[in-house]
Structure 1
Amino acid sequence: MAHQAHNIPWTTLSSCLSWRLSNRCEGGAADLHLNPRRDRGKKLRHFTTAFARNIHEHAESEIRKHADDSDPPPARDEVVVEDDAAALIAPIIERWRQSVEYRPGINNTRLGACSHQSDDCGCVLPRASRKMAAFTEVFHAQGCYSRMHVKSSGFFNAEVFTAMLLHGQMQALFRICSHPEVALQTWWQEQECQCIDYFGWFRVSSFALDAYILLNVLLHFPQTWQKGEADYRRLKTYQEVVYRITKGSVDELPAYPHRRFFGIADGQFQEHDGWDSPHSRERWLRPKSSRRRRDPGGKSQGSVLGHIPYEAFVDLNQVSEYLPSSQDVSHVRWVLCEKGLPAEVANIILQGARYHAQTRLPVPDDPLHSSNSDELRKYLTYNWQLIVRSAALGARMGMELDWEQQVARSLLRLFGCSCKSHEAPSLWKIDYGSSWEGIITFL
């Protein structure tokens, strides 16, 4: 059953879609397609309105639960990320800092709660970055290709904010947001210039929305749950979503929970990946697609997404690596104990080998498999929580976020296309510079 089925009209949305083994709008790729029905706009408007209303209701509940207006805002030099929260988020901050040299010259190897007074101590999360003042740096664009935002302390603390959001540290986050000089709203969605992608903590709710809506919709298409040509994992939309919400980026913390659920390793996908790597081009490249690329010789080449099995999609740019599940870790621990080692020693060996669970699904790469139902339910619940938390924190900082628009844009990313039945020559022309009402009409 779909998540929040009593509050969100999933059946209404799924009735606007049909599954196509060969979608002409996507160069013959397998995909979901919006039906050309006269009542489609009315149904989609009903869905976005109900979805947004549910977000607002849950966000208000979150605010009542955690926000305390009688508590004075923290002082600028007050440590607002306390030791227990710092220890909780330190592992993913370390993981991020190892993959992104946002400030060269700093060796970030020490975990735990830092007690140093400067931020160049070498700790993963310096004490100075846990104070309220660190969350008051306003974003300033620096110019094309400078990437100065990456080197700023404001960017670092925006990522600390994101890490706390992912871990549900709402009490501390509401306290941070209560300060009159908090500047995190300026890091919601920004870009250094038009040459690079948007970054910011909007990606937390954006990724969650796309995954949440798509998986709930696919639960209404049981004919795609089987292996073979009708496999939902062959859908172009499914492959694009997995790529988009797990790919590497300088601002990649929002991708971490999705990588673990879908079983995607760090670095498996990177920004601006092409789908024509040497080991896949000969076998998989298709000449016709709505998403075209040109090789150095100028020949038009089409995307392979939606044309190939999911396993081939994951390996398009590089062969995927093995990721252990919690069951794998338990089995290896059992083997070590069977050899006569105490459990404490077995745990030390596993920790030293960095052998820990990196994927959640008992049956890998197949979220809708019946054996994965518990993990799917947890994942959908977690995505819903990320959406609600983002809405609550935005409201607490006075941000006027239009959640009907956010939902509409997610629908556009997932199911929009440029076919004649939509009476629009270009998806992108509608996406940029149009109100959300225009997007609903387009859909």
Structure 2
Amino acid sequence: MHHPADNIPWHLIASNLHWAPGKLAPQIRALNLPEIPGKLKEEDGCPCGVTNLHLNSSLSESSELDLFAHAFTKAVSDASRLKRSQYPKNYSPLDRNDVLLGEDLFQKVNSLLFQEVKGGPRLPFEQRTASAFLHAPEYEEDDASEFTATAKIGFLSLEVVKMLLMLGELGPILQVCALPHEGLSGWYCVSSRKPGTGPYEIGWDTVQYNALVVYVALNVALCFPQIYDPKAGRTDETDYRHTAFYQYMLRNVTRPIYPSKATPYPHQQFFGSPRDHFGENFESLRNISRKNWLHQTKNVHGAGHYGLLSFNEFLDLEGPLLEPYLPSKTDVESVKRLLFSNKLGLPFELVLMIMDFADYKAERVLEVPHDPLRPTNRAALDEYLDQWWQIIVGCNIINDELGMDRTDWPGELRWVMNDLFRLVPGQYQRKTLTGMECTGL
């Protein structure tokens, strides 16, 4: 199922937005704000101080957002009906000990959940049976931050379900939904607490939210070729990666979420973000007083730093970006050709053996790292968007299958677009460097 981006009226959102840099007061700009090459002057920017796709007018007062939300909701509903029709209408009740995950699928999920652990599987065999999916979230009576022993089994099953969603394996999840006394519905919206820190949202609603964030952010951005395509006018100054919406999206979907490994994994893989590069929460930002201008402006709170930094400074804000060398598909093919060329003349079977022994395989998704909208990366971007459209559809199907309240897609979209673009003045507002709210130029 290909994602229907062309059938969703993104122009209704994009026509109400325009790119503009943040206009910062001279005394703030003098506090070591990173320079972005270009010719824009202070008066060319938005008074809010944030570089972003800014609102032209009050979209909340028009019907365009409602029209967009209706079209999006219809697209999700239509795709859900088509996808659900590919599976049995009803599933026979399973015994507690019936196996839900076959060996190949089980090993695939296991390797993804514990990819950094060498030396064999870490998921117990029981985790592939129906009984593992019956446990709802429960906390210890004397410790509200600690799951009970049975709830820990349920959490591990939640991680398995997330991975199945991301792999497009909906069949086993539908069997879970058909279980009497299933525990999955209880894991939709649930929090975990790491000792000494705030709560973390770890339910499968986080998968749905992150899918919506990347799908909306990147599709809207594609309506503005002048900020991502050099042939259309992109410059170092107008680079989309300097914007608040892109930086918010990137950090939000790739940061680790204790104790979930499944939620951020595919985003970390696509964007090339090491697992622990961004902090789990904003405490890490409050401790970076060495970034003098942020410290002095007291702007390190909530989403306050997005769109205030160049992209490279943003990446280094919470620590230097330490990324290992990851070969791309092009790198792998180049090595194969070299080994098989007339210069070396190795038999192709031996070439494959060498590549396998060296474990030299494509691990980097983007040909041009950290620049997903660059035209060179378009094939990988389309595949990524397709994956997350299918996950949006999968979440909708699971929600209906469990008999939960129908997803309020218009409400979800408003929430996401406010997080990205602050589209609706008066809601989810935050103070800016100049003390002014951004409602457009």
1:263·1:358 contact (CA, 8 Å) conserved in 2? no
Corresponding residue number in structure 1 for 2:410:
404
- Asked if structure 1 preserves the Cα contact closer than 8 Å seen for 2:136 and 2:151, the reply is no
Q: Which residue of 1 aligns with 2:128?
A: 130
Q: Who is 1:216 aligned against?
A: 219
Counterpart residue identity of residue 385, structure 1? Q
Aligned to 2:253: 245
Residue 366 of structure 1 aligns with which residue?
371
Which stretch shifts more, 151-160 or 333-342?
Answer: 333-342
Cα-to-partner distance string for 1:404-431 (whole Å, 9 max, x where unaligned): 22222211221227xxx82458459xxx
Pairwise CA distance, 1:59: 1.2
| 1:206 partner letter | Y
Matches of 1:150 and 1:262, distance apart in 2: 35
Query: Residue 409 and residue 181 in structure 1: after superposition, are their counterparts in 2 closer, same or farther (change >3 A)?
Result: same
- Bigger drift between 136-145 and 391-400 goes to 136-145
1:155 corresponds to: 155
In structure 2, the residue corresponding to 1:29 is in which secondary structure?
A: coil
Shift in Å, 1:90: 2.3
Question: Alignment partner for residue 238 of structure 2, among 220, 230, 234?
Answer: 230
Alignment correspondent of 2:209:
206
Paired residues of 2:422 and 2:429 also in contact (CA < 8 A)? no
Counterpart CA distance in 2 for 1:412 and 1:26 is: 18
Q: Residue 307 of structure 1: SS of its match in structure 2?
A: coil
The alignment's C-alpha RMSD in Å is: 3.2
**In the alignment, is the contact (CA less than 8 A) between 1:16 and 1:40 conserved in 2?**
no
Query: 3-state DSSP class of the match of 2:135?
Result: coil
Deviation at 1:5, TM superposition (A): 4.2
Which AA in structure 2 matches 1:159? E
* Deviation sequence 1:383-412 (CA, Å, 0-9, x none): 101100111111111121322222222112
Change (3 A) 1:136 1:361: same
Q: Distance in 1 between matches of 2:321 and 2:240?
A: 22
- What is the distance in 2 between the residues matched to 1:134 and 1:88? 18
Equivalent residue runs for 1:143-182 within 5 Å? 143-146=143-146, 152-182=152-182
1:78 and 2:98 are equivalent in the alignment: yes
Larger relative contact order (Cα-Cα within 8 Å, sequence gap ≥ 6): 2
Paired residues of 2:58 and 2:425 also in contact (CA < 8 A):
no
Q: Distance in 2 between matches of 1:365 and 1:208?
A: 19
Report how many aligned residue pairs link the two structures. Answer: 392
Deviation, structure 1 residue 14:
0.9
SS in structure 2 of the partner of residue 308 of structure 1: coil
> 3-state DSSP class of the match of 1:175?
helix
Q: How does 1:314-353 map to 2 (within 5 A)?
A: 314-316=315-317, 317-321=319-323, 322-336=325-339, 339=344, 347=352, 350-351=355-356, 353=358
- Moved segments of 4+, more than 3 Å: 23-27, 37-41, 141-151, 192-195, 273-280, 284-293, 302-305, 332-356, 423-428
Equivalent AA in structure 2 for residue 16 of structure 1: N
Aligned to 2:231: none
Question: Compared with structure 1, are the counterparts of its residues 220 and 287 closer, same or farther at alpha carbon in structure 2 (3 Å cutoff)?
Answer: farther
Deviation at 1:324, TM superposition (A): 2.3
**Residues 177, 396 of structure 1: 8 Å contact kept:** yes
User: Match for 2:71: what amino acid?
Assistant: A
Query: Counterpart of 1:196?
Result: 199
The corresponding residue for 1:48 is 69
Structure 1 residues not aligned, in runs of 5+: 99-107, 111-122, 294-301, 429-443
**In the alignment, is the contact (CA less than 8 A) between 2:418 and 2:428 conserved in 1?**
no
CA shift at 1:195, angstroms? 3.3
Task: Label 1:280 to 1:349 Cα distance change in 2 as closer, same or farther (>3 A).
Answer: farther
Deviation at 1:22, TM superposition (A): 1.3
Please state whether the residue corresponding to 1:78 is helix, strand or coil.
coil
The CA distance in 1 between the partners of 2:415 and 2:384, in whole Å, is: 22
Give TM-score, length-normalised by structure 2. 0.79
1:244-393 matches, within 5 Å, as 244-249=252-257, 250-272=259-281, 274-275=284-285, 281=291, 285=294, 287-288=296-297, 291-292=300-301, 304-316=305-317, 317-321=319-323, 322-336=325-339, 339=344, 347=352, 350-351=355-356, 353-393=358-398
2:111 is the counterpart of 1:91 = yes
Q: Deviations over 1:54-93 (max 9, x none)?
A: 1122112222211331x41221110011112113322102
Give per-residue Cα distances to partners, 1:133-178, cap 9 Å, x unaligned.
1100011244444365897111111111111111111122212211
SS in 1 for 2:19: strand
TM-score by length of 1: 0.79
Shift of 1:223: 1.9
Give distance in 2, aligned partners of 1:227 and 1:286: 29
CA distance in 1, matches of 2:304, 2:150: 31
Q: Output the CA distance in 2 between the equivalents of 1:26 and 1:136.
A: 53
Q: 1:348 to 1:202 in 2, by over 3 A?
A: farther
- CA–CA separation in structure 1 for the residues paired with 2:98 and 2:306: 50
The letter for the 1-side match of 2:391 is L
User: C-alpha distance in 2, partners of 1:348/1:44?
Assistant: 55
Change (3 A) 1:129 1:325: same
* Helix, strand or coil at the partner of 2:191: coil
Structure 1 letter corresponding to 2:414? A
Counterparts in 2 of 1:72 and 1:358: CA distance versus 1, 3 Å:
same
What is the percentage of aligned positions where both structures have the same residue? 28
- Give the counterpart letter for 1:92 in structure 2: L
What is the CA-CA distance between 1:256 and the residue it aligns to? Answer: 1.7
Q: For the structure 1 residues 64 and 329, does the alpha-carbon distance in structure 2 shift closer, same or farther, using more than 3 Å as the test?
A: same
Distance 1:73 1:372 in 2: 45
Structure 1 position 211, deviation (Å): 0.6
Q: Which structure 2 segments of 5+ residues have no match?
A: 25-45, 229-233, 432-441
Other-structure match for 1:32: 53
SS of structure 1 residue aligned to 2:53: strand
Residue 433 of structure 1 is matched in structure 2 by none
Take 2:169 and 2:418, find their aligned partners in 1: how far apart are those partners?
31
**Residues 26 and 132 of structure 1, relative CA distance in 2, 3 Å threshold:** farther
User: What amino acid is aligned across from residue 316 of structure 2 in structure 1?
Assistant: D
Matches of 1:150 and 1:217, distance apart in 2: 43
Give SS of 1:33's match: strand
